[in-house]
Amino acid sequence: MRIFLDIAWTILGLIRYASLAVALAGVAVFGWHFVGINGRAAKAGSGDIPVESWRGPGAVTGIKLVALGFAMLAALLLLSALLPPRL
């Protein structure tokens, strides 16, 4: 039983760092597309923020990655509450 708990807690630790990496990747993807689209609009002389910068496929992918990272973290917190503490 002790080995199972050690493996489970190790996997939960890996999921914690993976959720952070996924959320940061989502922020990076969203920012890359948002800044890129706004930069192209500024070069064209348009002063407004295009709708594609918020609702385009790249921005939506970034937001989904951020949500996945937070969902992974929420699942981790639930699982860690159910597991007994390390011995």
22 pLDDT higher than 80: yes
pLDDT value at residue 76 = 94
For residue 61, the model assigns a pLDDT of 96
State yes or no: pLDDT of 17 exceeds 80: yes
How far apart (Å, rounded) are the C-alpha atoms in residues 23 and 1?
33
pLDDT digits (tens, 9 = 90+) for 32-83: 999 999 988 888 887 788 888 889 999 999 999 999 999 999 999 999 999 9
Distances (CA, A) of 28 to 10, 11, 35, 65, 80: 27, 25, 10, 10, 28
86 has a pLDDT exceeding 90: no
How far is it, in rounded angstroms, from Cα 3 to Cα 70? 28
Torsion from C-alpha of 25, 26, 27, 31, nearest 10 degrees: 100
Q: Which position has the token pair 């800044």? A: 35
| pLDDT for position 77 | 94
Is the pTM higher than 0.75?
yes
